[in-house]
Amino acid sequence: MGFWPVTKKVIKDSDIILLILDVRMPLMSMNKELGRMIAYHKKVLVYVFNKIDITTSKYLNKIKDQYPDAFFVSGVKNIGISNLKRSLLIMAKRMKIDEPKIGIVGYPNVGKSAVINAIAKRARAKVSAKAGTTRGIQWIKAGGLMILDSPGVVPFDDSERMLGIMGAKNIEKIRNVERIAYEVMRMLIQYNKSIIEKFYDISVDGKDYDMILEEIARKKGYLLKGGIIDERRAALLIVKDWHEGKLRL
């Protein structure tokens, strides 16, 4: 079954939908079609910003101000999960649902599985699949919650730029990885140019993205035969450092 049919099934069978977002890329993590689908089925939508462990407190506070009703967690570090679970139980009580079914959706690589595991506390006791649920999708009991074991994956619109930035595609297989590096640099410089300057020990003043790539390549000694600067290798480094949370907003 394709991406959207599975996601639709998750939404239809759940009482509350958690949309998992990458806190570093709030708008890019969202999907209008998904929002319309959730509204059509009259489901409760909860924004959950993941990966807060790889951001600075200054940046995190800025995003919290922009999304005051959202939850901020780290599935990997188990930060904010207890508050999320407690709040979901309170929501369910107000909805007069004794054992709420929680569906989890989001783009690839935003950390859906990590959030599921954190909520379930690794006690992945399987419960028999609900009637009509997509084959292979089962519910697991986590306290007073029922969590969908297989998250709905929202597909990209084949945008290599989005796939690369969010780490949903092996960057080694992306032809124009420089374009992905440019976008990462744009986001970082727009927020605070010193992030790149301090991390790579360079200056970005008065330089375009090509020049910044060249300077990083020189610093790292990324040279091809004949002393030609290896810009692709520098671009791969930037994107990897972003994916691994070394370059922090």
50, 157, 183, 177: CA torsion to nearest 10: 110
**Do residues 60 and 85 make contact, with C-beta atoms less than 8 angstroms apart?**
no
Q: Which residue has the higher pLDDT, 129 or 31?
A: 31
The packing angle between helices 209-220 and 177-192, to 10°, is 100
Question: Residue 132 has what pLDDT?
Answer: 36
Q: What is the pLDDT of residues 4-45, one digit of tens each?
A: 777 888 888 899 999 999 999 998 888 888 888 888 899 999
Question: Is 50 within 8 Å of 110 (Cβ atoms)?
Answer: yes
For residue 211, what are the contacts with CB-CB under 8 A and spacing of at least 6?
none
Q: Tell me how many degrees the CA angle 51-196-77 measures, rounded to the nearest 5.
A: 15
Which pLDDT score, from 0 to 100, does residue 244 have?
87
C-alpha distances in Å from residue 198, one per residue of 24, 131, 180, 189 = 19, 55, 21, 12
**Tell me, what DSSP letter sits at residue 155?**
P
The token pair that represents 148 in the structure block: 């969908």
- Beta partners for 106? 153
Collapsing DSSP to helix, strand or coil, 179 comes out as helix
What is the value of pTM for the model shown? 0.81
- Which residues, in sequence order, are CB contacts of 142 under 8 Å at separation 6+? 85, 119, 120, 121, 123
Q: 147 forms bridges with which residues in the sheet?
A: 102, 140
Residue 172: pLDDT band with limits 50, 70, 90? confident
pLDDT tens track for 206-249: 888 889 999 999 999 998 888 899 999 999 999 999 988 899 88
DSSP letter for each residue of 185-235: HHHHHHHHTHHHHHHHT---TT--HHHHHHHHHHHHT-B-GGG-B-HHHHH
Residue 107: CA atoms inside 13 Å, Cβ hemisphere, count? Answer: 27
Q: What is the pLDDT of residue 175?
A: 77
Dist. CA 113–CA 126, nearest whole Å: 15
Q: Are 29 and 106 in contact (CB under 8 A)?
A: yes
Residue 105: exposed, middle, or buried by beta-carbon count in 10 A (0-12, 13-18, 19+)?
buried
Residue 136 confidence class, pLDDT cut points 50, 70, 90? low
- Per residue in 49-90, pLDDT tens? 999 999 999 999 999 999 999 999 999 999 999 999 999 999
Domains of the chain: 3-153 (3.40.50.300), 160-243 (1.10.1580.10)
Mean local confidence (pLDDT), 170-191: 85
Taken in order 121, 122, 128, 130, the sign of the CA dihedral is positive
pLDDT at 94 over 70: yes
